[in-house]
């Protein structure tokens, strides 16, 4: 088992940052294979690309996790599930 105590990280925090890195890498590969994507207008009523939606998802997930830590003492695993749902909603509706 890897010791993350040197940075006071928990496993959910480490997974969150690994997921961010993985998503950015995956988006880079996707952009290389299919440049530009297909901009669309969603519920926010302005044009977004998949890179914009990834940025909104990551920024929103960070705020959800911070809010979770502020509002409750429950495990961050629940917040990660909430972030995954938020990610799917942003990519499907925004």
- pLDDT mean over 6-27: 83
* pTM of the shown model: 0.75
| pLDDT score recorded for residue 88 | 95
In the chain, the number of structural domains is 1
| pLDDT score recorded for residue 71 | 96
Task: List all residues 6 or more positions away from 44 whose beta carbon is below 8 Å from its beta carbon.
Answer: 94
Q: What is the pLDDT of residues 31-87, one digit of tens each?
A: 899 887 788 898 888 899 888 898 999 899 999 999 999 999 999 889 989 999 999
| pLDDT score recorded for residue 46 | 87
Domain that holds residue 27: 5-93
| pLDDT score recorded for residue 19 | 84
In this predicted model, which residue has the larger pLDDT, 52 or 16?
Answer: 52
The three-class DSSP label of residue 94 is coil
- Burial degree of 73 (CB within 10 A; 0-12, 13-18, 19+): exposed
Handedness of CA 43, 29, 15, 4 (dihedral sign): negative
The three-class DSSP label of residue 64 is helix
Confidence category of residue 4, pLDDT binned at 50, 70, 90 = low
User: What are the structure tokens assigned to 18, written together?
Assistant: 């690994």
């Amino acid at each position: 088992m890897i010791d993350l105590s040197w940075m006071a990280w928990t496993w959910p925090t480490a997974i969150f940052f690994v997921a961010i890195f993985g998503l950015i890498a995956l988006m880079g590969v996707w952009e290389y294979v299919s440049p530009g994507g297909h901009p669309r207008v969603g519920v926010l009523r302005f044009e977004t690309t998949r890179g914009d939606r990834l940025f909104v998802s990551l920024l929103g997930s960070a705020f959800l996790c911070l809010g979770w830590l502020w509002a409750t003492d429950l495990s961050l695993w629940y917040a990660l599930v909430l972030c995954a749902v938020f990610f799917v909603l942003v990519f499907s509706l925004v």
